[in-house]
Structure 1
Amino acid sequence: MLTDNHGRKLNYLRLAVTDRCNLRCFYCMPEEGLNWLSREELMSYEEMMRACSLLVKMGIEKIRITGGEPFVRKDIMNLLAGISKLDGLKDLSMTTNGVLTAPYVTEMKKLGITDVNLSLDTLDPNRFFTITLRDEFDKVMDTMQELLRNDMTVKINAVVMAGKNTQDIIPMVELTKHLPVSVRFIEEMPFNGDGHEYKGLEWDHTRILNEIQQHFPTIKKSIDPVNSTAYNYDIPGHKGSVGIIAAYSRTFCGTCNRIRITPQGTLKNCLYDDGVMNIKDLMRAGNDDKQLERHLLTAFGKRVMDGWEAERQRVEKTGVHESMATIGG
């Protein structure tokens, strides 16, 4: 079993395969996009496979593929096929914005991918365009329907933003009445790529829950899975469920079981740290797997207690200005 210096089990890797995205959500990046990584700066698929294989041998049991938008990267299905065959991997899942995903759903299921997080911040096409600056709402909804037709476990991730989509909270909860989806409301975080100044959190997890309770007074707390980042709730008579993720309040750090590898190979022990080592650079410097394992174990042995400590320790003292696309959602 792989553990950190606080005794927390580490069994979950979030691997970001690209920093590029076909949407321009204002809370993630500026309108003009980012200074995209060059091909040389990105981890190759071979390097990603090597990292995943090593980490699974060390104790990682679940891998979630993220971005950017994973399906923007060419031949992503080849990588998924390779990872799905790793001996010891129990769960391979994805996070996607759904714009390009629908044609791949059947193939994903054949690879054993049955859990997909779909990023969707509104059910209103006009607000979708305002938030994403792209007219792709119908494609995302088509992807959701295709996922459900294939009996996928669908979690809809909605970032709650003051003045942007709080009027969508109740309609999105209503979506769970007839559809077996989990709608998860996420506190807004400061990872906007310098697109705008983060003003602080207006809608925290408590306020989001209060808003839902006013319209659905019978909502009740359900049992949270081990290592869950969401507070989960059920509403009697609804096929789906509701979750609230305190991503900015960081109330779940004490049971965090996840690590992240960014598209450029940076290992992050915490979403809020600025990276603790670069596995791609170590590979390209000629380190063998035993040497890589020693570097990884050293990094896991220096994990911070929580996201607040990670943020305080950042080299960049002026604040958090990364884009979520370069971190991995």
Structure 2
Amino acid sequence: MHNIPIRNLSARLVDPFQREYYYLRLSITDVCNFRCNYCLPNGYQPHPERDKFLNVDEIRRVVRAFAAMGTEKVRLTGGEPTLRKDFVEIVENIADMENIHTLALTTNGYRMAKDVAAWRKAGITSINVSVDSLNSRQFHRITGEDKFDDVMRGIERAFDVGYQKIKINSVLMKDYNDGELAQFLAWIKHRPIQMRFIELMQTGEMDHFFQRHHLSGQLLADKLVQQGWQLQPKGRTDGPAKVFSHPDYQGEIGLIMPYEKHFCTSCNRLRVSAKGKLHLCLFGEEGTDIRDLLQSDNQQLLLQARLFAALQGKREHHYLHQGDSGVRTNLASIGG
């Protein structure tokens, strides 16, 4: 069954608002070894229900079903996805799958210096690394780990092994990194880095932190435009970032602003959790269990039917702007 053609098996992933979904964010573990203050300030807490994370075959089957329905881009997330001992095997199982043109990774970068060459060889085509500060002390304060130099070495190693561009994710936080724009701009002036600033998002466990440290990305957008940065057109499988470029800079700036009025209009991504639930929105419902249909290659059509049916319940937009962050207690559980 592994080699059956996947074309024309089912409807494409289109919701009631005629948005088409080309992009799957697939969490492969909830576990993270960092303790970021905006996500897991007390570190990873194992859930009392010890359900195992999706295995390699289950991951292959879910990606295959999404690919059959038009998905072109898969991002492996966590937690920290590279903590899995079978991470390279997972990548190899889906890297050459028909229709999948981009296999991306979001990582905290702590293993990059050692392993990024193996990730590239296995099939990872693009990498996002979380770097919330360019000050090593502040980095330690935010992440709970003194790993700044390791992460920086990993980023340089990624360029050495052949990656043409690296994306860097930084959560924008008042009193933590909002004064570092000049440092970040200097860093990307002569490097092919897309520096992505993400608005701090409210979750159930982090209400007080959000109120103290949230900063609107629009303030940064206005500042960039004043300095001559120009908004770039978005590709159809791109994520939600608004990307700005400047003729004097090799790098780019991306802004992810979920509180923006029309943020959900161009939504093109769905999420599957590490334990096999489909989530239609980062901030939303409890999810639709699909794991029972990942046990055999022969279940693919049933799985695709369930995916399509679930998508028909997708809301037009989230309600973050009304202070409703849904049921999400933190972002580590479904990969942010």
Structure 1 residues 51, 37: CA separation in 2 closer, same or farther (over 3 Å shift)? farther
Structure 1 residues 46, 193: CA separation in 2 closer, same or farther (over 3 Å shift)? farther
Alpha-carbon shift at residue 270 of structure 1 (Å):
1.0
Query: After superposition, where does 1:290-309 map in structure 2 within 5 Å?
Result: 290-308=301-319
The residue number in structure 2 matching 1:204 is 216
Report if aligned partners of 2:200, 2:210 keep a CA contact under 8 Å in 1. Answer: no
Moved more, 91-100 or 24-33: 24-33
Amino acid at match of 1:154: I
What is the identity percentage for the equivalent residue pairs of Structure 1 and Structure 2?
31
Structure 1 residues 253, 321: CA separation in 2 closer, same or farther (over 3 Å shift)? closer
Question: Which residue, 159, 175, 183 being the options, matches 1:163?
Answer: 175
The residue number in structure 2 matching 1:274 is 285
Alpha-carbon shift at residue 30 of structure 1 (Å):
2.7
Residues 209-267 of structure 1: CA deviation (Å, up to 9, x unaligned) = 234456xx222222233354111111221111111111343633111110000111111
Q: TM-score, normalised by structure 2?
A: 0.87
The residue number in structure 1 matching 2:234 is 224
The residue number in structure 2 matching 1:190 is 202
Report if aligned partners of 1:13, 1:64 keep a CA contact under 8 Å in 2. Answer: yes
For the pair 1:75 / 2:86, whether they are aligned, the reply is yes
Structure 1 residues 260, 194: CA separation in 2 closer, same or farther (over 3 Å shift)? same
Q: TM-score, normalised by structure 1?
A: 0.89
Distance 1:37 1:16 in 2: 19
Report if aligned partners of 1:273, 1:310 keep a CA contact under 8 Å in 2. Answer: no
For the pair 1:178 / 2:185, whether they are aligned, the reply is no
The residue number in structure 2 matching 1:84 is 95
Report if aligned partners of 2:52, 2:275 keep a CA contact under 8 Å in 1. Answer: yes
Number of residue pairs matched by the alignment = 323
The residue number in structure 2 matching 1:327 is 334
The residue number in structure 2 matching 1:16 is 27
Question: Which residue, 251, 254, 260 being the options, matches 1:240?
Answer: 251
Question: Which residue, 288, 292, 302 being the options, matches 2:299?
Answer: 288
Report if aligned partners of 1:266, 1:279 keep a CA contact under 8 Å in 2. Answer: yes
Amino acid at match of 1:206: Q
Moved more, 21-30 or 35-44: 35-44
Secondary structure of 1:183 counterpart: strand
Question: Which residue, 123, 138, 148 being the options, matches 1:137?
Answer: 148
Amino acid at match of 2:64: S
Secondary structure of 2:211 counterpart: coil
Distance 2:96 2:274 in 1: 21
The residue number in structure 2 matching 1:97 is 108
The residue number in structure 1 matching 2:126 is 115
| Structure 1: gaps (5+ residues) | none
Structure 1 residues 321, 300: CA separation in 2 closer, same or farther (over 3 Å shift)? closer
Amino acid at match of 2:329: E
Distance 1:310 1:266 in 2: 25
Secondary structure of 1:59 counterpart: coil
Distance 2:186 2:94 in 1: 36
